[in-house]
Chain A
Amino acid sequence: MILVLVEVDADGAVEVSRETITFARGLSHAGGGVPVDAVVVGDLPCAPEKLAEQLASYGVRDVHHATGEPFSAYGGASWASAVQSVRDATGAVVVTAAGTPRGMEVLAHVAARAGVAMAANVVSFDGLAPFTVRRQVVGGSVLEEMVLDERPAVFTVAGHAVEAEPAAAPGNGRLVGATPEVAEADLVARVVSSEPPAPDLSGDLTSAKVVVGAGRGAGSAEGFAELMELTELLDGALGVSRVVTSLGWRPHHEQIGQTGSRISPDLYVACGISGAIQHWAGCSSSKTILAINTDAEAPMVAKAHYAVIGDLHEVVPAINAEIRRRRG
C-alpha cells in the first residue's frame, strides 16, 4: 500500500496533496495496482466526510484520520508519530507527501524514525526494481537519480511535478479513525501560539491565481505603486525577487525563489526581473509567464511564454489604464 500524508484547508485536500495522490496512483499502476491510502492528522478545517468523498474521487481507498489531544497543535515529531502508527498498522511500502515545508518536515521525521532514506522533491520515477526516482536539487536546476531500496520508501513530491487529476475509477474513500498514542518526547516541539498573517498584497503568494512580480527594475522602494495597482486590478498577490528584499525595498516574506516562496499561479507577470536560477526555482511552475523587461536577452524573457520589451514604469501604468478603460 502507498500511504499519502494529505494537507487540508477549508476546501478539502490542498492542490499539491492532490498532485501527490495523482503521482501515487501512477506508481500504484506501475506496481500492479497496490492501493493508495491517505492519512490526515488533527482537527480538520473541513468536514471529514467531505474530504473522504473528495479523496475517493482521486482513487483513495482508506482515509486514516488521527485525532486526539496530542494533535491539538502542530508538531513535526507528533505528526510523524501518527503517520508512523498508520504505516505500522497497514504495512505501507511507500510513504509520501507533497514537498511543502510541513510535508518535508513530517516525512524527514518519519524517515529518521524508520531508519530509512528520504528523497525530497521527487518529480518522476524511473523504475521499480530497484525503485529509482528523479528529484530536484540545486534549486531545481539539476535533477538527481536516487535509489530508494529500503521499505518504506519515503519521498516528497515536488509541487506541480504532475497535474492533480481525479481517478478514472474512484476509490472507496472509507474514513478510518485512529487515536494513536504519542510519546512525551514527541510532544516537546509543538506550536504554542499562532497568529494569522497580517493581510497584505503578498498574503497568499503560494496559492494565488495571479502573481505580479517585481525585480531590480522597480528601481527603488518607492517604485512599487503601479505594480501594486496592477496586483489589485488582477486580484492577485505581489511577489519580489531576492535582490528587492536584499536592498530592503520590500519585506522578505514577499520573496519568490529558492529561499523564498514557490508559486504556481495561472499567470505570473514578471516585471523587471532578470530571471536568475534562484528566482526561477520559485516561479517555474507558473502556467503562463509574461515578462516585462527592458532587456530582450534577459533569461526571464527567454523562458517566458509572452514578453513586452520596455521599462515597467512605462508598460505597467499603460496596462493598468487599459484594464480600467475596458472596465469602463
Chain B
Amino acid sequence: MTEALTGVLVCVKRVVDSSGEVVLAEDGQSVDGRYAGYTVSNHEECAVEIAVQAAAATGGTATVLTLGEPEAVEQLRSALAVGCTAATLVEADPSSYGPTDVAREIAAVVRDHEAAGRPHDLVLLGNDAADSGDFQVGIRLAYELGRPVVNGAAVVRLEDGQVVAEVAGPDGHETYRVPLPAVVTVLEGGVEPRYPTVPGRMKAKKVEIEQRTPTAEPTGPKRVRLLLPPPQPSQVEVLGKGADAAPAVVDLFERIGVLR
C-alpha cells in the first residue's frame, strides 16, 4: 500500500526536569531549572518518535516546533538528532503564555507553512505538558485549525489517508479512525523513543532553525502564583526489618481489612 507524503508537525515544550527536588523561581511564576536541567515530557518524546516513523513510512517530513526561550533550541536539536528534518522556534517566554495563546501560535505556524507549500497534515502534541499540566493545548489547536482531534493516543499510524489512533479508554482498547488533516495528542507507552546517534547529532547541528516571533500579545495563563505544598513531616512507623517483619505486616493487613 502506498501512502501519500505526509507532513508531520510535532510540538514539544522545554520543561524543567522535575525528577528531583522542585525549586520555584523568585517571582512564583515558574519552576527554576538552573540546577535541575531541562527536558521534554515522556509523552512528547513518544510523539517525536511517532512523527519520525510516520514521516518515514510515507516518505514525508517531520518538523519539530516549540514556543520558548532561545535556549529551547536544545530541545529542537534533540528532536532533529532522532530524525526530524526541520525545526521552528517561536521565541517567547512560555510562562506568560496560556494554553489558548500557545494553540493560536501553533496554528499560525501551521497556516504559514501551508501557505509556503509545506502543509502539516498531522500535528502531534503531548497529552499534557510536564510542568503546567493544562491538558488542553491539542484540543484548542484543533478548534483553531478546524480539524478533528484524538486525545491520549499511544499508537498512531497512517492508513489510506487516515490516522488510526489507539487509546486506552475506560472500557478497554479503543480505536479512532480520522481523516487527515488531523491533530493527535500522544500518551507515553505505545512506542520506544530511539536514542540519537552520533551522525544524527552531527546532522542536527547543521539544520537551520526557523526563528519566529509570536503573532499576538499573550492573554496569559491566568496564573496568580505557584506555591509548594508545605513539607509533610515523616510519620512512618517501621514495622520491622527483613523477613521477621512478616507477622506485623499481616497484622496490619488484617487491621485495615484488606485480608479476607
Which of A's residues lie within 8 Å of B, judged by CB? 7, 9, 74, 76-77, 100-102, 104-105, 108-109, 111-113, 117-121, 132, 135-139, 141-149, 156, 185, 188-197, 209-210, 234-236, 242, 245, 252-253, 255, 258-260, 266-267, 276-278, 287-288, 290-291, 296, 301-311, 314-315, 317-319, 321-323, 326
Contacts and interface: CB of A to CB of B under 8 A. Distances in A.
B236 A302 contact: yes
Contacts of B128: 104, 120
B223 A146 contact: yes
Interface residues of B, number: 84
A301 to B, nearest CB: 6
Given A193-B175, A301-B236, A303-B234, A318 B243 contact: yes
Contacts of B253: 234, 267, 323
B225 interface: yes
B258 interface: yes
Nearest to B31: A138
A194 B172 contact: yes
Interface string B138-172: 01101100101111101000000000000111111
Interface string B169-183: 111111111110010
A77 B178 CA distance: 13
Nearest to A255: B189
A303 B174 CA distance: 36
User: In terms of DSSP, what is the predominant structure of the interface of chain A?
Assistant: mixed
15 contacts: A101-B169, A144-B132, A146-B221, A147-B224, A189-B176, A191-B176, A193-B174, A259-B42, A290-B249, A305-B236, A306-B252, A307-B239, A310-B245, A315-B245, A318-B243
A305 B237 contact: yes
B175 A191 contact: yes
B257 to A, nearest CB: 8
A159 to B, nearest CB: 13
B188 interface: yes
B249 A147 contact: no
Contacts of B249: 290, 306, 308, 315, 319, 322
